[in-house]
Structure 1
Amino acid sequence: MASCKNASKTDSKDLTTKKEVTALDKPNILFIYMDDMGYGDPQCYNPESLIPTPNIDKLAKQGMRFTDAHTAAPICGPSRYGLLTGRYPWRRGPNGHGNGGKFDDVGIESGRLTLASLLKKNGYNTAQLGKWGLSHNYSDAVKPGKKPGTKEAYDFPNKKLSGPQLFGFDYTWTDTHLYPKIGHDTIRGMDPISDSKLVFENSLPLNPSLEVENPYNLLPNSGNKVIEYMEVYVGKKENPKFNQDKSKPFFIYWDSVGPHAPYVPLEQFQGKSKVGRYGDYVYEIDYFIGKMLDKLEELKLADNTIVIFSSDNGPDKYTYERIKDFKHYSLGKWRGVKRDAWEGGNRTPFIVRWPGNVEANTVNNTTFCLTDMMATFAEIVGDTIPENVGEDSFSMLSLLKPTTNEFNRPPIIYHNTKRKMGIRADDWVYMDAPSGAVEEDPEWFKKERGVIPHNQEVELFNLSEDPQQTKNVAIEYPEKVKELKKTLDDMIEKGNSH
């Protein structure tokens, strides 16, 4: 795994066209990105799942289902940074491992290339709908002499909120935490919502009075906006706010707010799963994915649209309660949850449907990271990326073509939210720490999985022999520990994976 022949890089600091690709050649892209959905939630990944996911399963039958895809981080903001920039989030700064108190180091740096700005440069309409999960810079919209933290402090609509439109998106419908907090809400039977939720359209609040949005509406409203965006694109409706050029293809990034807590399924979806409110919420998400897929077919867009489905990280810590209450394993067969550097924290569902290119109903077991989307999209549109961009991104386009399947990717670097680093090389996982956990798994779960306790300073697992990471074999393989430790340190020190 020492090299990659599909990196799609150039020595120039400027983007240069690698080959001529016309607008008609370029596919539309619908990127569906879940929030805290586990590998074991969709039934196409876990036949024992107690949550009906007919539309995700249909997508898998129509495309290629990957079994060894990994997010750039096991938590919300950093994983999005990695996806959008092709760069590991911990390279961003000392707080890049976690969300941080103010998302300090999970904002995208000014001027950095993103998936959206790459595609926009190559003639795409670009739209972000749903959760952003990165810095919004509320201070930019504060009135002179006012301190942030009250509704009266913000100068909307005279000032706009900095956010996704700075990074290549022509249109944004953003469900956001308002920081600093200006209020709370509580759902009966649920934990309090941690921050206020507001919706900003094209960087301005939909509700000028900054009233907290009804959390039950966040998912359906953003999902229906995706539908509307497609309808406007083909001329069935009009909405000038979308800023569309209908002669160009589109990139829609739907970053769902769910199934992140609080679990707020609409009444029509309640009781439709066997996993309580969480399962019903996943079922609702699946319903809206189905609506999007049906709309692509209805509008005759499906044949020239790449649909990608994935998730930002593993399931939240409440997955252990769901195991006890419902016998449902959101983490699948893996060990670890959101925030952990074990497989359950960063191994994610990943499905690609691309008619005429990706063979239907296929399964691919190749290991890759979602940072690879930057180089992959560049190759799809016939562009290249500079050496100082997408430092951890490698084009996996060859995996999507039935005639070429070579992908020699370097090792993937893991980390947890406590800044403990690890590395995945072939079937080996090395953690440069006594444990990959942040959310320590319960004793009853360890007993159920047969986890063998240890007191070593590092961890080493072989996933081909021990996929559930139950036995630390660092003592048995000291040379492998030494080798992976050196590889990890070298990749960190040089600042890129190439």
Structure 2
Amino acid sequence: MNIFYMRSLIFCAATFVSLPSLLWADDATRPNLIFIFADDWGYGDLSAMGNLSDVKTPHLDALSQQGVMFTDAYITAPQCSPSRAGLMTGRYQQRFGFDTIPDGPLPLDQLTVAERLREVGYATGMVGKWHLEPNAVCLKWAKQHQPDGIQGNRVLVRRDLSMPYWPQSRGFDEFFQGELNPYWANFDLRGKTLNPTGETVHDGRFRVDVQTDAGLAFIRRNADKSFFLYLAHYAPHVPLEASEKYLQRFLGDMPERRRTGLAMINAVDEGVGRIMKLLQDKGIADNTFVMFASDNGAPLGAHTGELMADILPVGKPGPAWDGSRNDPLRGEKGMVAEGGIRVPMIWSWPAKLPKGKIISEPVISLDMTVSALAAAGVNADSTSSLDGVDLVPWLSGIESQKPQRDLYWRFWNQGAVRDGDWKYILTGDGRELLFNIRDDKEEQHNLINSRRGRAKILRDKLKSWTSELKPPGLPSAPLNVQEVGWYKYYFDEKVTATMSDVKSD
């Protein structure tokens, strides 16, 4: 069946099941929705958490004080594209074969949150990093759709074949797409409408400020209606850069990569403050549901078997330290250890959510998607196949709505499951790690030998979950070169089980 015909049928079905919401929803009470999604921002770099003293995030701290801060929030993959695919769909991306970047693009038969929200009358906007279109490493896609574009192990993707996967074709009415200058947009920073299908916009200023300005322009253009904004800052991802305005806020003796990373984080934070001020000025702050998170943990560069962060110049490209930190967690981007998948997360909706609440139960980015759809009045039947949970009733005080579920990961040659306080990691070479995350979030004490019964329960759960994926199955291939370096550095010599850890199941 032609894929575009399939999508037409899906849209018709989505419209049909959403029709009651469209008819009954009260535009005056439906919240505006904003996802602010950072790139490679580590768990340690949120000053409200109290992990590091050099980070400055006053506006995000204020957002946490007027809303909910999650201490145990996770992403669906320790890498950008698959984690973004999970966020955009509300499904574990492994269900549709998007485990890693080369598995892209986001399949056209997967409905995005923007498509679902547009069907119930929301204005939808996307700003910043997309990275869900076919790219140079998407060989599987190219073999089917553009075999003549394959040159060795790279793909020269034709724009006309790529465009159906871009934001304007995935539910976003307005877009200012781009990681760095130039950008592809159908509106400019003054709010002027450009070519509806998009045109190139040049702006060579510091990219975080440009992306914030574009988010503000979208809000101004749509402040009188229900809107959804996906603002995906390209920071603090490499290449590292920051304007002097932000660098001057981090004086003193520190690695220059750390200084620049902190400046980029501070720039995103200032952007959050500017967005919140605009919402206040427009009189719509109370009924705007803002959710902030990172796409994965920070890369630290231990794939070589040691950390050399202090001596790397700012201009050194990745895979290398981006200046952010995951303290106190072990591991980094690319790993299913806590440092790779546990991220800062804050939600604020003054009209609905409590103020200053701290949640230590595990949640995941998929919950952002489903909670936003539920808040918008999207018919629950149409989202029943999604993997996230609407957390708003529970966060609002209905204890019976507290989620009861496990969280799962499969990435490269690693798999993991978190079940309550327990987390189990399995690698393709047979390595097993078991941690009580409530007592040991730093993953310092591997309890695999003392709690074999618990490990078996979790392995069986992981095996059952991976049987539902595409392709099915537990990780079984040997670790790749990067994974070997990571696990040697973080776990082979540093993780030990002590006699005090030995307990019976």
Distance verdict in 2 for CA 1:482–1:174, change over 3 Å:
same
1:490 counterpart SS class: helix
- 1:170-209 Cα shifts (integer Å, max 9, x gaps): 0111115xxxxxxxxxxxxxxxxxxx864111453415xx
For 1:30, the equivalent position in structure 2 comes to 34
Is 2:263 the partner of 1:280?
A: yes
What secondary structure, in the 3-state scheme, does the structure 2 residue paired with 1:69 have? Answer: strand
The yes-or-no answer on 1:199 pairing with 2:203 is no
Decide which structure has greater helix share: 2
Pairwise mapping of residues 284-299 of structure 1 onto structure 2 (< 5 A)? Answer: 284-299=267-282
* Match in the other structure for 1:98: 100
The 3 A distance-change label for structure 1 pair 162 and 137 is farther
Task: Kindly report which structure 2 residues correspond to 1:40-79, keeping only aligned pairs within 5 A, or say none.
Answer: 40-79=44-83
Contact map agreement 1:35 1:311 (CA 8 A) in 2:
yes
Q: 1:313 aligns with which of 286, 296, 300?
A: 296
Q: Tell me the distance in 2 between the aligned counterparts of 1:347 and 1:459.
A: 17
Residue 97 (structure 1) shift: 2.5
Instruction: Please say if 1:221 is aligned against 2:220.
Output: no
RMSD: 3.3
Secondary structure (helix, strand or coil) at the match of 1:374 reads: helix
Structure 2 residue matching 1:58: 3-state secondary structure: helix
CA separation in 2, counterparts of 1:110 and 1:97? 16
Out of 147, 153, 172, the residue aligned to residue 175 of structure 2 is 172
Structure 2 matches for 1:122-271, cutoff 5 A? 122-136=120-134, 162-176=165-179, 198-202=182-186, 204-206=198-200, 214=204, 216-234=205-223, 246=224, 248-271=225-248
**Corresponding residue for 1:402?**
397
Q: Does 1:465 align with 2:439?
A: yes
Distance 1:313 1:147, change over 3 A: closer
1:397-476 equivalent positions in 2, closer than 5 A: 397-404=392-399, 406-416=401-411, 418-433=412-427, 457-476=431-450
Indicate if the aligned counterparts of 2:128 and 2:176 stay in contact, CA closer than 8 A.
Answer: yes
Separation in structure 2 between the aligned mates of residue 162 and residue 376 of structure 1, nearest angstrom: 25
Give 1:21's aligned residue: 25
Give CA deviations for 1:206-251 in whole Å, capped at 9, x if unaligned. Answer: 15xxx9x74x5322112101112222234xxxxxxxxxxx4x3000
The 1:342/1:393 distance shift into structure 2, 3 A limit, reads same
TM-score where L is the length of structure 2: 0.74
| Contact map agreement 2:41 2:324 (CA 8 A) in 1 | no
Bigger relative contact order (CA 8 A; separation at least 6): 1
1:85–1:390 contact (8 Å) kept in structure 2 = no
Aligned residues: 415
Alignment partners' CA distance in 2, 1:396 and 1:403? 10
In the alignment, which residue of structure 1 is the partner of 2:387? Answer: 392
Which amino acid is 1:27 matched to?
Answer: P
Alpha-carbon distance between aligned partners in 1 of 2:327 and 2:20, rounded to the nearest angstrom: 41
Report the counterpart of residue 190 of structure 1 in structure 2.
none
**Aligned sequence identity (%):** 25
Question: Hey, what's the Cα distance between the residues in 1 that align with 2:453 and 2:216?
Answer: 54
Change (3 A) 1:381 1:285: closer
**1:84–1:114 Cα contact (<8 Å) kept:** yes
- Cα gap change, 1:205 to 1:468, in 2 (>3 Å): same
- The one-letter code of the counterpart of 2:100 is G
Show the 5 A alignment for 1:304-383: 304-318=287-301, 330-383=325-378
Whether the 8 Å contact between 1:371 and 1:390 is mirrored in structure 2 is: no
> Deviation at 1:375?
2.4
Question: How far apart, CA to CA, are the structure 1 residues paired with 2:380 and 2:397?
Answer: 25
Q: Deviations over 1:283-306 (max 9, x none)?
A: 111111111111111121211111
Q: Quick one: distance in 1 between partners of 2:389 and 2:461?
A: 18
Q: Aligned partners of 1:479, 1:422: CA distance in 2, in Å?
A: 16
The aligned counterpart of 1:487 is: 461
CA contact (8 A) 1:461 1:473 kept: yes
Query: 1:9: which partner in 2?
Result: none
Displacement of 1:79 in angstroms is: 0.5
Alpha-carbon separation, structure 1, partners of 2:64 and 2:198:
37
- State the alpha-carbon separation in 2 of the partners of residues 267 and 340 from structure 1: 33
> Which residue in 1 is equivalent to 2:193?
none
2:101 aligns to what SS in structure 1? coil
Task: Report deviation, 1:18.
Answer: 6.4
Aligned residue identity for 2:248? G
Kindly indicate whether the alpha-carbon contact (under 8 Å) linking 2:108 and 2:165 is maintained by their aligned counterparts in 1: no
Aligned 8 A contact 1:391 1:495 in 2: no
Alpha-carbon contact 2:291-2:368 (below 8 Å) kept: no
- DSSP-derived class of the 1:221 partner: helix
- Give the residue type in structure 1 aligned to 2:273: G
Kept in 1, the 8 Å contact 2:105–2:165? The answer is no
Measure, in 2, the Cα distance between the counterparts of 1:483 and 1:259.
Answer: 38
Structure 1: 5+ residue runs without aligned partners? 1-11, 177-195, 235-245, 436-455
Query: Which whole-Å CA distance do the structure 2 matches of 1:64 and 1:293 have between them?
Result: 16
Evaluate the alpha carbon distance shift between residue 485 and residue 403 of structure 1 in structure 2; reply closer, same or farther with a 3 A threshold.
closer
SS in 2 for 1:206: strand
Distance 2:410 2:62 in 1: 33
Q: Are 2:77 and 1:88 aligned?
A: no
CA distance in 2, matches of 1:47, 1:317: 17
